[in-house]
Amino acid sequence: MDNLSRRLQNIKENPVQYLDKPSITCLDLFLIGYLSTRTELGLDIEGSGIEGFQEWIQNREKTNVSQSWARIILFLNGSERSAFYDFFRLFDIFCEFKKASCEEETQQKKQSIKNDFRYYLRQLYEFIGSIKKRPGMYLLTPSITRLDMLLRGYTLARREADLVPTEEEKEFEGFQSWVQEKYGINSGQSWSKIILFYSVDEDEALQKFFELFEEYLNRNKNSDVDENSG
């Protein structure tokens, strides 16, 4: 069983641990963050294992609409939970199809891809900055929940690469407790759920996240200014 299959099996068996709930939309965003980061780290030099799934779903359902595989499956099932579990059934069928039809890559091409991807490792704050500039490209729709899922996938992929946490990643770990303290929340709710609770909708919560994140990064600078002015 390859890495993606093992991870998907874990998610299927315990979706709350990874996504908070069985949701095809949350799974989609998690996989985007997880698989794209593994690719950038050079961990999936033979491909992530999900390539072609979008086209396969469209061909299977005989549709040419420009909707993601997650939205197509959601439309067919009618609910996030049902679509979540149906994904695993469909993906198993896809894997059998792909196994029977795919040609093996040459060793020279594998090495070339591996070298290309190891030139550049995206850092966390740069990633967040890119999402802020182009949320539609990364999240499809402005949503703090989608952002949370994307970052969870990014973080897990780096852990699987046995990378030592960067200073940015260590600093961001404190964002959860900082948000809890700022809103006076003592429950175990994630930072995304707390911000969403105090926002009108997902879009406003996403914008508020970027404001709070900026405030969080500048917290020490503001403290130094107050001390100097005093």
pTM for this predicted structure: 0.72
- Tell me what pLDDT residue 214 has: 96
Residue 40 to residue 191: CA distance in whole angstroms? 26
Residue 72 to residue 83: CA distance in whole angstroms? 9
Of the candidates 23, 143, 13, 144, which has an alpha carbon nearest to the alpha carbon of residue 79? 23
- Tell me what pLDDT residue 116 has: 43
Average pLDDT over residues 182-203: 95
- Tell me what pLDDT residue 42 has: 83
Predicted confidence (pLDDT) at residue 43 exceeds the cutoff of 70 = yes
Q: Is the dihedral of CA 110, 113, 116, 122 positive or negative?
A: negative
Indicate the range of 15-19, 49-53, 105-109, 213-217 predicted with least confidence.
105-109
Confidence of residue 77 (pLDDT cuts 50, 70, 90): very high
Per-residue model confidence as pLDDT tens digits over 107-160: 454 455 444 444 346 789 999 999 999 999 999 999 999 999 999 999 999 999
Residue 68 to residue 146: CA distance in whole angstroms? 15
- Tell me what pLDDT residue 105 has: 47
